[in-house]
Amino acid sequence: MRSIVCVFLLLLLAHALLMQCAAAAEMAQNSETVAAQMLHRVAQYSSQIRTLRAEFVQEKRMSLLSRPLTSNGYFCLKRKGDSTERHEKHALGDSLLWGYTHPLASGFIFKNGQGAFWDGSPDNCRPADKEGRMLMTAVLRHMIEWVRLNPAMLQSSYHIICPDSNIPELHLYPLRQSLFSKMEVLFSADFSRVLRLTFVESNGDSVRISFKNIYLNEPLPDHCNTYLLQDTVGD
């Protein structure tokens, strides 16, 4: 009799484990399905973006620093006209002006695959060297990908999940070697804009950028236009 009970209990335990595994697999699948749906909704909005500007608060947590480093700034993004023009020469045909206002005024401009850094004012640009340009391209790609969003491309490069279907947030894990081990993207409720980007490095260092005062497809301020319309950067 005792052995029958033991067998019964074992079977019960196995069944429970199986059910739990199945539930976990289903949840993971659901999470990926929700993420895919979310991506497609975001793509609908992002394809319409021509200009984008916003202010941001950036918080960096690094093992090098004894305390988090917080910076404030703004950015202006200008996309080229139609897709043909945009992809004519450089895939990253979008122009970006990224500026810090606090604690120090500095930033960079990226345009037509070329980059330049500046201190004080964008007037004082110094072109990035080859390696600097490549690094800049790589980092910016992660940021700009959310503007020129291509769900298929992202899905081929990242394992994407939605941890909570009630929160419009995606977690991305690169499928191959990358500067970051994880990316988190929080969207607005209507999926029309990105509210927060978080990049996590493999050593645990992270940078979180929260955006506010986001303006879509509105004329860019003059100081942004001036720099983004120049043919070259850093001259």
Partner 1 sequence: MGINGIVTLYHAIKRHRILCFVFIVLFWGFAACTVVHMRQDTSILPFFPDDDLHARTIVRNMDVLPASRLLFVDISTDSTEKKYELTAVADAVARDIPKDLARPAFVNMPESQAVMGLLPYFFDDKALRHLLLASEAKHIEKSIALASNMLANVLTVGPAKDWLRADPLGLRSIILSRLSTGADTAILPDPITGYPVSADERHVLLTLRFLHSIHNVDAATRLMDALDRSLRVHLAPDMHVLVVGGLQHSAINARVIRQDVTNIVGISLLCFCSIYVMLVRSAGAVWLLLLPCFAATVALATMSLAYPVLSGLALGFGASVLGVAEDYAVHMHFALRCGRPAEQILPIVSPPLLQSFLLNASGFVVLMFSGIPAVRQLACFALLTLGVGFVLAVTLLPVCPWFATPMLYKRRAHALRQLPVLWRVTCCVCFLLGVGMGLYHLLRIDVSPRTMGAEVPRLKQESQTLQHIWGMRERHAFVVEGQTREEALELAREMAAAFRAQAPHTSVSTLTAFLPTPEELRNNVQRWMTYIDEHGAELREKILAAGKHYGFSAEAFDPFLELLRAPVATFDLECLRAAGFGDLLDTYMPVNTPDSQVQILLYADSHVDISYLEPRLATHVSAIDAGSLESMLLQKFEEEKHLVPVAWLVCLVLLFLDFRDIRQALLASLPPLCSIGCILAWMAASGHSLTLAGMAAMPMVLGLAADHGILVTHDLANGVRTGVERAILVSSLTTLTGMGLLALAQHPALRSMGEVIFWGLLIESPAALWLLPRLCAPIEETTI
Pair of tokens at residue 88: 């004519």
Does position 74 interact with partner 1 (CB under 8 A)? The reply is no
What whole-number distance in Å separates Cα of residue 144 and Cα of residue 127?
20
Q: Which of left, alpha, beta for 132 (phi over 0: left; psi -120 to 50: alpha)?
A: alpha
120 DSSP assignment? S
Smallest distance, Å, CB 150 to partner 1? 5
Do 146 and 194 meet the contact criterion of CB atoms below 8 Å apart?
Answer: yes
Q: Which stretch binds partner 1 (CB under 8 A): 9-17, 20-28, 32-40, 86-94?
A: 86-94
Kindly state the number of chain residues that form the binding site for partner 1, as judged by CB under 8 A. Answer: 49
- Using the minimum distance from each CB to partner 1, give the nearer residue, 165 or 214: 214
Residue of 7, 21, 134, 229 that binds partner 1 (CB under 8 A): 134
The verdict on 120 binding partner 1 (CB under 8 A) reads no
159 binds partner 1 (CB under 8 A): no
Q: Is 24 in the site for partner 1 (CB under 8 A)?
A: no
> Are 185 and 197 within 8 A, CB to CB?
yes
What does the alpha-carbon distance between residue 35 and residue 29 come to, in Å, rounded to a whole number? 10
Residue 146 interacts with partner 1 (CB under 8 A)? Answer: no
Interface with partner 1 (CB under 8 A), residue from 36, 41, 43, 58 = 58
135/112 Cα distance (integer angstroms)? 15
Q: Mask 180-209, x = binds partner 1 (CB under 8 A)?
A: x------------------x-x---x-x-x
* Residue entry with tokens 């319309």: 229
Q: What is each CA distance from 198 to 32, 140, 205, 207, 209, in whole angstroms?
A: 19, 13, 11, 6, 6
* 170 or 207: CB nearest partner 1: 207
Residues of this chain that bind partner 1 (CB under 8 A): 58, 60, 62-67, 69, 71, 87, 89-92, 98, 100, 103-104, 106, 108, 113, 130-131, 134-141, 143, 148, 150, 153, 156-157, 174, 176-180, 199, 201, 205, 207, 209
